[in-house]
Structure 1
């Protein structure tokens, strides 16, 4: 494996590049110490070391685990014959503190984060990680390509490219590429395991991580031992239109709940919106707080405590206008801190593309908002009750968010791009043999329940759990019970989840 600071070394190819090497091929290649990366075998710069034995990998201890920070140089585009351009992919490797000597034998559980465009948090050995350890796993926390420590995408990192160049680069950061990264890492870390030790991986995916799992089951089902999805059973669609038609309906219901809880906010929000429509308001980081951006605070309605968070901002903003005639720095900073599009630009620029297969999104959410069905409900004039929006992406964001402005041209190119590759293989999913269990939340604002049920019914052997106990973040609210019960479901145990 090439380390981040090593010069590029030659690749060696097997005659059958689509298969994991047989024991005979492994034995023939042992003297040269090659490692599988994607469909190729890459010579290690540490000619005598397995990657898990690498002495140049930084490691440290947290209570209950030894942690290894691992970097992998992987192809930017897996469909390229040359695969010469590389990106760095970071994976935090957690091993139970008393099982460090068993790394080459313990099965791996890979955690796929929500998003798209978010990295993994620094780990604590509790919650679902504790459940994973208790079930005999070592854990890999993947910073999905373009996030965190994995060649993170930002306006600065793309500044040297034209709009078309940025768009072409960003096309390589969807679920299909993320999954191929995982498969490359799996092959690398388990390439010389004997048959008695598991070389397949198990997968845990939150939200968008569940989209990635479904892609994994489509592309590499033989590489997966078991899969667990929390709040992220994806719709098997080709464009986002159907998704957003249902999304706006759920957002309206959330607005009814919000204004039912805080009826005085109807007038407060109208006052705030009219002020923002008349005044150019600059945020601390240089972005602009337009009325339409302010209403994106409704994204919080899908999580625990979201209504209260938005109410506090509305209350302070209304008081600012009454006492100061303008919005205070404190209020502006609160709005900016609540919105993550500046720090996670993939979340904005590829959000609609995660649904596209062979068709363009054409700014789907904006088209649905302006349709006869929703135009009046999402009027931003402030003359009637103003409804907040939710997890929807709009062209104006590339004018209002400071970090999105340099990506405006690329975003428009991607919105009109039609040749997106497939993300799912329905026939493969229909014949699935991998144990799969997933929880879908009855009141989930971000992932439509009906579409999730359709997909669950398509994946053979899928064990569903539908509950209204959580919003979208059940894995965060009660991780031990949620993950523990999914493990039971995948094993065919339909007993109590208490």
Structure 2
């Protein structure tokens, strides 16, 4: 893509400002240009920008390869000299979300900067890494051309980007922290480039590594987790059952309501807010949202309620998450994901839990159950920024020729010190499947805890990071 890509103007402006710091490195994956951006200071931290121009498609001929920019923010403590410290690469959850932007030295970052230079990677397509938006994707051409481009933004190429960064920074090896989908990327890293890793720490992110598409199996487990979280929610806030049912009945009667952001709020789209039930304070967030959902004078849903809904819809600013979400479960095998969450939901509603059917629940006086971390086809009708990507999403859903993400033989002889925090009641990454995977990775130690939810690293990051580091390093003996 060169400078003609979505971030071309941004790329050119940085070249003009920092051209003296640009270098060209011949990595094992191709020629990469690296330049250093601005240096900033926030409370307790020094921040340094790094940009890398890497191949869009690593299988293309090196001479004619299209390029994308990958951005990393190096974070060090302002309280100590970090020049001699090794790097740890942070792999963000998602897919399709940029790395966190540090405001101060709290949490896991504070702990990590005691012994590392932390590198916050904006995975390709996110943040400042040639971001994929609705507008930039539409500019690529047809739905098939969009899908072909999107397919290059999975864990395998994220890891290849990381390899280019490692070599540009002159690191023989480095460590990784993988949160959620970042853990999926870690298992891909251990499969493709184990010799590049010194140690790996995973938090709520051990994926099934079987060949083929595991999406249907994953969702058959996760709907049970979501059902349990709904039962907890209504047990904690029994007063919400009636007021929530009133909102769903209102939407079912009118079919839909347009929100201030131009989204369509239907019963099914409102159910998607259950994704919040898997993180700390998520239940409280939904509880307070339904305190006063209607305008008393008109009986219509209030502007505040509709705005609250818009603020909780993150896939409109991170469309990559919606389009590629099910593909993270496809590792070779010639199988498509095929809207696995949608088909699994229909099976669950028919045979296990009809409360996911809002119309039935309202008619029968049953509580309406919210759904979880799932992407459904109707979202591409009802979320404004996803509508133009509907055809491309369908192509991705039906794609069957996905490359492998994991190498079980390589994982079985894994030489890298590694450990994982596995959350007992994780609503997004199934415990049973995580433990299956842990057993396939040589040397992988697991800490199974019910004290934290999927967001544990954000709840008590310093303690959790230290615990997992100690396990990987053998400071805590096997027992």
The two structures share one fold, judged by TM-score above 0.5: yes
Equivalent in the alignment of 1:12: none
1:375 to partner: Cα distance: 6.5
Work out which of the residue numbers 337, 350, 362 in structure 2 matches 1:361: 337
Shift of 1:184: 0.6
If you compute each CA radius of gyration, which structure gives the higher value, 1 or 2?
A: 1
1:374 shift after superposition: 4.4
Of residues 151, 159, 165, the one that matches 1:179 is: 159
| 1:422 alignment counterpart | 404
Is 1:303–2:269 an aligned residue pair?
Answer: no
- SS of equivalent to 2:149: helix
How far residue 172 of structure 1 moved from its aligned partner, in angstroms, is: 0.6
**3-state SS of 1:383 partner:** helix
Alpha-carbon distance in 2 for matches of 1:63, 1:115: 27
Count of residue pairs brought into register by the alignment? 450
Distance 1:444 1:207 in 2: 10
Within 1, Cα distance between the matches of 2:353 and 2:280? 28
Q: Report what 1:120 is aligned to.
A: 99
In the alignment, which of 231, 252, 262 is matched to residue 256 of structure 1? 231
38 and 396 in structure 1: CA distance in 2 versus 1, 3 angstrom threshold: farther
1:485 maps to which of 457, 467, 476: 467
Taking structure 1 as reference, are residues 126 and 268 closer, same or farther at Cα in structure 2, changes over 3 Å only? closer
Shift of 1:380: 2.3
- Tell me the SS of whatever aligns to 1:409: helix
1:6, distance to aligned residue in structure 2 (A): 9.4
2:425–2:453 Cα contact (<8 Å) kept: yes
Q: Which structure shows the higher helix fraction?
A: 2
Deviates more, 1:412-421 or 1:323-332: 323-332
Q: CA deviation at 1:416?
A: 0.3
Q: What SS does the aligned partner of 2:138 have? A: coil
**What residue number does 1:35 align with?**
25
Give yes or no for the alignment of 1:92 onto 2:73: yes
* Cα offsets for 1:390-440 (capped at 9, x unmatched): 111100000000000010000001000000110100000000010001001
Q: Distance in 2 between matches of 1:209 and 1:397?
A: 24
Instruction: Give ranges in structure 2 of 5+ residues lacking alignment.
Output: 4-9, 16-22
What secondary structure sits across from 1:453 in the alignment?
helix
Q: Check 1:325–1:438 CA distance in 2 against 1; reply closer, same or farther (3 A cut).
A: same
Unaligned runs of 5+ in 1: 9-32, 45-50, 191-197
Change (3 A) 1:462 1:427: same
Instruction: Tell me, yes or no, if structure 1 residue 446 matches structure 2 residue 428.
Output: yes
2:358 equivalent to 1:380? yes
1:463-488 Cα distance to aligned partner (Å, 9 max, x none):
11000000111111111110011111
CA–CA distance in structure 2, aligned partners of residues 6 and 380 of structure 1:
51
Q: Tell me if structure 2 keeps the 8 A contact 1:287–1:402.
A: yes
1:226: Cα distance to partner? 0.3
Offset, 1:345: 0.8
For the structure 1 residues 4 and 99, does the alpha-carbon distance in structure 2 shift closer, same or farther, using more than 3 Å as the test? farther
| Over 4 Å off, 4+ runs | none
Contact 2:209 2:331 in 1 (8 A): no
TM-superposition CA deviations, 1:181-229 (whole Å, max 9, x none): 0001001111xxxxxxx62010001111000001000000000000000
Q: Deviations over 1:231-283 (max 9, x none)?
A: 11112243200000001111111111111122232222222112112223101
Residue 277 of structure 1 is matched in structure 2 by: 252
Task: Give secondary structure in 2 for the equivalent of 1:4.
Answer: helix
Q: Which residue of 2 aligns with 1:326?
A: 300
Give 2:268's match in structure 1, choosing from 269, 289, 292. Answer: 292
Note closer, same or farther for the CA distance 1:414–1:41 as it changes in structure 2 (3 Å cut).
Answer: closer
The worse-fitting range, judged by mean Cα deviation, of 343-352 and 366-375 is: 366-375
Computed over aligned residues only, the root mean square deviation of the Cα atoms, in angstroms, reads 2.3
Q: Helix, strand or coil: the match of 1:404?
A: helix
TM-score of the aligned structures, taking structure 2 as reference length:
0.89
